[in-house]
Amino acid sequence: MTLVDADTLLNVLRRTQLLAPEQVEQIQRELLPFYPDPESLARYLVEIDWLTPYQMQLFLSGRWDEVVIGPYQIMDRLGEGGVSEVFKAWDTLRGRVVALKVLRQDLGDQEDLARQFQQEHQAITRLNHPNIIKTFDAGHTKGMFYFAMECVEGMDLERYVRLVGPLPVEVACDYARQAAQGLQHAHGSGLVHRDIKPANLFLIHPPLPNGRKGPEPVVKILDWGLARCIPAEGESVIEHQGEKGRLIGTADYIAPEQIEDATLVDIRADIYSMGCVLYFLLTGQPPFPGNSVMQKIVQHREAPPPSVRELRPDVPQELDEFIIKLLAKSPEQRVQIPLLLVAALRKYTSGQTGAAGLVRSTPAPGTALNLPRPQTHATLSRPTTHPTLQRPEDK
């Protein structure tokens, strides 16, 4: 529906139920004489927080039908991936803000992608852990698959490190330890993530600039779309045939055995990826950089694990050797469960003395302290009461 006049905008507001009926009537009675065209009226409603800028954008572009998905009112667009988009949305049934992940409409008829999207929801709803993003609800409407997750404020660790530089040893180890705690919970539920990387580790409450004290930083694992469910004893193995022969994962962080056959990997593949992540947090680059996917894959298969100390001499020798163990080519030579990774990293996060001396509690040379503005994956509350409507002559 094209918004030819302000009355059309009011009709759209009634149909989408973004505002209460009495609010719409108040707009018609008190604002229409002053804002006869839809754009000026919409902009005023944004100004008084009755609409969000993104909702106004959808209305004015004639895409008003995209402002409601199932019981969720779309408030803002947070980002997109290869097969989905993520929105900040208001849950009208439970009265809370969520992050709503929606399978792109142009892909909804592709069975393999729809299955992968549903698989992510089925995987993550089995999980309930402080270091894993929570999922609340899932549904299917108007040809769209969606599921709702907790909405948090912060930024992923890839963006964070790119902006602030390599992290202090104890900070990097703490973030890796938290991620490993989440992986241990997933392991207990029979899940392998298969795409652990800094971009899928979301940092809530990043440290404040200039050493100011704030809430404790929390790392949460995102994006379980490639997760593999390992059947319990006695259960039949169900694998998606479409995964055979495909590269499942991200080339910078993928385990050698996952390159060979992603349908057979276990939690030790995620542990290898955690070794790559820890290397990145300490150096600002993955352990096997390259100019092509194939070049990176060959290094994961054949190149010996690099020493972190070549780029960060302040890293304790014992920690360097531990990261090399995580990056062992054979799964049998690595740490076998994430819980052992948690235990090994804990002493570095508490400031204890390692084999090579005291762990640094200050940033490495060149580490920036001024933090960027958080990504807008924000935890916000939609107002339960709206501001008093002001007519133009009252302002």
**CB-side neighbour CA atoms (13 Å) of 332:** 0
Residue bearing tokens 């997109």: 80
Question: Considering only CA atoms, which of 360, 352, 373, 374 is closest in space to residue 167?
Answer: 360
Burial 227-262 (b: 16+ CB within 10 A, else e): bbbeeeeeeeeeeeeebeeeebbbbbbbbbbbbeeb
Is 195 catalytic? The answer is yes
Catalytic pick from 137, 156, 174, 195?
195
CA distance readout (Å), 165 to 198, 210, 307: 13, 15, 18
Distance of alpha carbon 173 from alpha carbon 178, whole angstroms: 9
> Which amino acid type is present at position 69?
I
213, β-bridge pairs? none
Residues paired with 117 in a beta bridge: none
Look at the block and give the residue holding tokens 């930083």. Answer: 217
So which residues are the catalytic ones?
A: 195
